[in-house]
Structure 1
Amino acid sequence: MSKNFKALPIQLSDKLIAEIKEGNSLFQKPVKENGMPAFVKPINPTTGKGYSAMNALALGMQRRDDPRWMSADAARYAGNWVKEGEKGTLIEFPKTSDIQAIRTAEGKTIKDDKGVTQTKTVEFEKPQQGKAFLFNAEQMKDVMPLQEFLAKQEEGQTLSPVERAEKLIEDSKAVIIHGGQEAYYDKKRDAIFLPEKETFENETKYYLAAIHQLAHWSGHESRLNRPMEGKFGSQDYAREEMRAAIAGILIGGELKIGHNFGQKDAYMSSFSRILKDEPFEIAKASRDAQKIANLLLGIDLKREQKQSTDIGFKKGDEIAYLDTTYKVLETHKNKSIKVEDADGTRKVLKPEYGLYKSLLEAKANPREPEMELDEGRGQSEEQNYQMER
């Protein structure tokens, strides 16, 4: 692998900074010149599954109208073929196993009577970072026409995008107070304030404003419990806005209502500064945005119920969280635990600690691979290591 290879968060941050400077980032330009949404939720057409937030951003920033993404191998298995000369887009995912060639003691591969290399599945002790290059359906031959695919996707969906947005807001049970000229969330009162619906340019913009404020609402201590103490204009305030903006992109893509970060001009310089100084912040912001989207879309309801009833720690637990894995070495009667991370650092965590709560949530909601484990195989290391500009 090239020594100049940059991790996906760094590539993503670099590209976002450049796009913000040019004024055409997803935060600034929610609609393309052809009238299509700037972000289309990417999915694997074979499995029907989507991709987690940071990968979804990486794919969505390619500005494709077609939502279908998969590796060259997966496309070939599905009877499709990547067009000659096309470049893939890098994604990263937690990898728990690998398919490897069976070799002799001398290191030679073992083949069957037909000359096919024999393989075995190797399970990793700890999740490792996997990488793969994906291609959009627009880059492939012999794919189902887009309109036919989208029609199949919408089968059984009786609500329009606006109706789905209205239902999401109603299902949240958030306190929403109408009146005034500004849209904002008051954490102390745990209430959202919105101008009257008729004062918005159209109904869609009203719902997008409401969804953005619901993203902030999700950070209350009774819900996702994010730090939200920064004052307007501060970097901490901008970090929270970045999370809400990314969540709005994800939710808008899911509902097919689009997105609109109405306060874009006030935060672009702060976003650029954060991404330049701390490029891995985009990974953290994306993870938080995924949690926001999951909460508001109702994806995690059953898992949260399970967590509240029977999830706890036990000795030997290994929990993947952020960019490392924590192993539980000891548990105590007061529910505190002693853990060790992948670097060998040990610490005692009490139930009131933020990391304790995060690990409990990570255990209840383990990260799942976003693609088939063999989807990264067969990809040339020379295929677009740097994200397309």
Structure 2
Amino acid sequence: MTKTAKTEFVSPYKIITDRILAELEAGVAPWAKPWKVDAKGNKVSVNSGFPMNFSTKKQYRGINVWLLLSAAAEHGFTCNAWATFKQVSEMGGTVKKGSKSERVFFMNKIEKEPKGEAGEKLNDNGKVEVWVLKGYSVFNLDQCEGIEIERGALNVASTLPQDAAELVDALQVDLRSGGDQAFFSPKGDFVGMPKVEQFETVDHYRATLWHEIGHWTGAESRLNREFGKRFGDKAYAAEELVAELSAAFLSMEYGVEAQLRHADYIGSWIKLLTDHEQAFYKAAAEAQKVLDFIREKAGQGESAEAEDMRREAA
């Protein structure tokens, strides 16, 4: 009898990290790609918003946003709508023959036998509860047939203030204009920005402002974000990555192209991801918290559906 070779287990974190690393090593930050046109010249609308499940009408979150956006641009899909094979079937549709699925990830709670270690917390079943990352496959709407859906209805309009100054006021950010540097001062708890006219475009100004607001959210009185010993001397690079992804999230929220503010950090991010397999997943999760915080603080709030997805790769 011929023995079947075992398939080597590859962790979801490695799948995510390898994909992002490949783009960074090519000199491209996947969150600041020119989403308007892919490598084949196909247009992908920057106004298509966050990737959405066209069956449940829920937006994907965290790491899944970047994975699906990257896939949409790579394959030239005309929308950011996705669903599982089962969901497509339940809607009366079929997946086109030869279509390749994309993986998305979510956190799932499982029970494990206690090891008797100090600090272990047991549930009512006498087990230790831990969260593990799992994945499943989805297909883009362009890969499906037999489904009639109004694509325009898949775009969820943002209710955040459209004007940058109004957003700053809603968040109660202490914004100080002037000088030639953009920064967040943890000691003074304020954001410093050059004046708008010093930037090439208003979108450049907004992207830079959103980056600094990303840092601002990490203060102890707000999200209390601290990478600490987990990333050691790379904690600074991790925080910069969170701020970059936060700015990119807000760029998507407002329907403008994200700007890579710190191109010189790409090398440090490659090193960070190479040394820490979970780093990009963690940064994307923290950036999602930033967006959630801003939405809530600015009056948008969070829907029950978004709450249901909080653990889904958030």
What TM-score does the superposition give when structure 1 sets the normalisation length?
0.62
Paired residues for 1:65-104 under 5 Å = 65-95=78-108
Q: Is the 8 A contact 1:229 1:237 kept in 2?
A: no
Which position in structure 2 is the counterpart of 1:292?
290
Match of 1:136 among 129, 136, 140: 140
The residue identity in structure 2 corresponding to 1:258 is E
**Separation of aligned partners in 1, 2:265 and 2:55:** 38
Which position in structure 2 is the counterpart of 1:15?
19
Q: Does 1:269 align with 2:267?
A: yes
Q: Does 1:52 align with 2:56?
A: no
Q: Is the 8 A contact 1:87 1:135 kept in 2?
A: yes
Give the Å deviation of 1:283.
2.0
The residue identity in structure 1 corresponding to 2:284 is S
Q: Does 1:149 align with 2:151?
A: yes
Which position in structure 2 is the counterpart of 1:177?
176
Cα distance, 1:181–1:41 mapped onto 2, change above 3 Å = same
Give the Å deviation of 1:83.
0.8
Q: Is the 8 A contact 2:186 2:219 kept in 1?
A: yes
Query: Per-residue CA shift, 1:130-174, capped at 9, x if unaligned?
Result: 4210111121123446xx4225645xx597x98265543331110
Give the Å deviation of 1:32.
4.1
Query: Per-residue CA shift, 1:308-346, capped at 9, x if unaligned?
Result: xxxxxxxxxxxxxxxxxxxxxxxxxxxxxxxxxxxxxxx
Name the stretch that deviates more: 170-179 or 292-301: 292-301
- Counterpart secondary structure, 1:181: coil
Name the stretch that deviates more: 188-197 or 200-209: 200-209
The residue identity in structure 2 corresponding to 1:269 is G
Give the Å deviation of 1:252.
2.1
Q: Is the 8 A contact 2:29 2:260 kept in 1?
A: no
Give the Å deviation of 1:96.
6.2
Cα distance, 1:198–1:255 mapped onto 2, change above 3 Å = same
**Separation of aligned partners in 1, 2:164 and 2:217:** 16
**Separation of aligned partners in 1, 2:163 and 2:83:** 28
- Counterpart secondary structure, 1:57: helix
Give the gaps of 5 or more residues in structure 1: 98-123, 305-364, 372-389
- Counterpart secondary structure, 1:93: strand
Give the gaps of 5 or more residues in structure 2: 38-42, 111-126
Which position in structure 2 is the counterpart of 1:61?
70
The residue identity in structure 1 corresponding to 2:274 is K
* CA RMSD across the alignment: 3.5
- Counterpart secondary structure, 2:138: strand
Cα distance, 1:2–1:286 mapped onto 2, change above 3 Å = farther
**Separation of aligned partners in 2, 1:69 and 1:183:** 37
**Separation of aligned partners in 2, 1:164 and 1:187:** 25
Q: Is the 8 A contact 2:50 2:59 kept in 1?
A: yes
Give the Å deviation of 1:2.
6.2
Give the Å deviation of 1:302.
10
Cα distance, 1:86–1:166 mapped onto 2, change above 3 Å = farther
Which position in structure 2 is the counterpart of 1:4?
8
**Separation of aligned partners in 2, 1:168 and 1:80:** 41
Give the Å deviation of 1:255.
2.8
The residue identity in structure 2 corresponding to 1:54 is I
Q: Is the 8 A contact 1:8 1:90 kept in 2?
A: no
What percentage of residue pairs aligned between the two structures are identical? 24
Q: Which has the larger radius of gyration?
A: 1
Q: Is the 8 A contact 2:92 2:146 kept in 1?
A: yes
- Counterpart secondary structure, 1:61: helix
Paired residues for 1:297-376 under 5 Å = 297-298=295-296, 368=310, 370=312
Cα distance, 1:250–1:4 mapped onto 2, change above 3 Å = farther
How many residues are matched? 276
What TM-score does the superposition give when structure 2 sets the normalisation length?
0.76
